[in-house]
């Protein structure tokens, strides 16, 4: 079976970085066509820079990285330096990237790629705010039907919110964009906080990355050491959720995950609930399902896959 063609749309972020490394360590299953950066965890100049840093860390300066939208569709940008540090990749010292940023805008790259590749062969993997994807869909609605699948990290239902009481960060930053993407009709898989909060970086799992004896393994361990201090204090858990790599792990080993097809609506007008993903888990709304909402995973299998693939780099 040929590798799955994907575009990773991202706002690195330490866990975004791990997702990119997982993809680059899995060439038999993943054909990474390009990385598109969006403003989110940190502003766009840092997210596009961080994406290139990660590619170089993986020994893949040939991967094309594109800068996209610097602000949400209708709102001021909210960032998360309180979690990821001022660079987005705080923790270990990292050299500035040498590989170039592509001249083309990320949205144009998404549009051109979906028009160029055979219909139904490109999967979009958004692991940040959905501004780039929504802008591409608005600008070129013909590409929506050409998308094989959207596998995104975002949203919450049973785990409620992590940036407000009711909203997960990626959706909260640009709920209007999220509403466009969820309403577009493309096949969709949602890695919400409901599942990512079960992918916890315990001390043994972090040390397994360090024990790989490679530079990518060491970086993953140090990144985790940095950002888990925030989540352990916040949630009182033994480790931090490793959110974004769940998307890539799903593409490689979907049997690690379970969920159900439900309808998901994005709240854009609520006084206290803006950015909430209203997942009809019990199918009481009468609305047609529009997403496979993932609620559980085999955490041991997930971290074994991460260690194996990052160990290849």
Domain boundaries, the chain: 4-310
Locus of tokens 């407000």? 164
Q: How far apart are CA 304 and CA 307, in angstroms?
A: 5
Query: What is the reported pLDDT for 72?
Result: 98
Query: What is the reported pLDDT for 228?
Result: 62
Query: What is the reported pLDDT for 233?
Result: 58
The number of angstroms, rounded, from the C-alpha of 153 to the middle of its chain's C-alpha atoms is 5
Catalytic site residue 82?
A: no
Q: Annotated catalytic residue: which of 82, 84, 105, 243?
A: 243
Cβ proximity of 147 and 187 under 8 Å: yes
Its pTM stands at 0.96
Query: What is the reported pLDDT for 231?
Result: 56
Walking along the chain (313 residues) 10 residues at a time, the average pLDDT comes out as 96 96 98 98 97 97 98 96 87 90 98 98 98 98 98 96 95 98 98 96 91 94 76 63 96 98 97 96 96 97 97 95
Query: What is the reported pLDDT for 226?
Result: 79
Query: What is the reported pLDDT for 82?
Result: 82
**Nearest CA-CA partner of 114 in 94, 139, 80, 83:** 139
Query: What is the reported pLDDT for 57?
Result: 96
Tokens of 104: 């083309």
Query: What is the reported pLDDT for 155?
Result: 98
Architecture per CATH, 4-310: Alpha-Beta Complex (3.90)
Query: What is the reported pLDDT for 230?
Result: 57
């Amino acid at each position: 079976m040929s590798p799955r063609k994907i575009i990773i749309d991202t706002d690195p972020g330490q866990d975004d970085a791990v997702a990119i490394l997982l993809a680059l360590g899995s060439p038999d299953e993943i054909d990474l066509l390009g990385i598109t950066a969006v403003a989110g965890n940190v502003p766009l100049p840092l997210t596009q820079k961080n994406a290139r840093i990660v590619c170089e860390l993986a020994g893949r300066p040939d991967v094309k990285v594109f800068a996209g939208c610097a602000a949400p569709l209708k709102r001021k940008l909210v960032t998360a330096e309180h979690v990821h540090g001022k660079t987005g990749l705080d923790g270990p010292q990292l050299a500035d990237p040498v590989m170039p940023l592509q001249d083309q805008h990320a949205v144009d790259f998404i549009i051109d790629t979906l028009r160029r590749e055979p219909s139904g062969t490109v999967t979009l993997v958004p692991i940040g705010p959905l501004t780039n994807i929504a802008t591409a869909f608005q600008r070129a609605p013909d590409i929506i039907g050409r998308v094989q699948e959207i596998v995104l990290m975002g949203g919450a239902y049973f785990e409620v919110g992590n940036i407000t009481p009711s909203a997960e960060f990626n959706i909260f930053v640009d709920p209007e964009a999220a509403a466009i993407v969820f309403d577009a009709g493309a096949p969709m898989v949602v890695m919400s906080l409901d599942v990512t909060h079960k992918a916890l970086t315990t001390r043994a799992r972090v040390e397994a990355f360090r024990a790989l004896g490679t530079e990518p393994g060491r970086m993953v361990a140090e990144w985790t050491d940095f950002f888990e201090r925030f989540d352990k204090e916040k949630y009182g858990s033994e480790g931090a959720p490793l959110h974004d790599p769940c998307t890539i792990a799903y593409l490689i080993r979907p049997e690690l995950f379970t969920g159900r097809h439900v309808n998901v609506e994005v709240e854009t007008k609520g006084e206290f609930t803006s950015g909430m993903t209203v997942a009809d888990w019990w199918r009481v709304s009468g609305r047609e399902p529009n997403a496979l909402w993932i609620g559980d995973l085999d955490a041991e299998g997930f971290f074994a896959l991460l260690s194996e693939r990052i160990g290849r780099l």
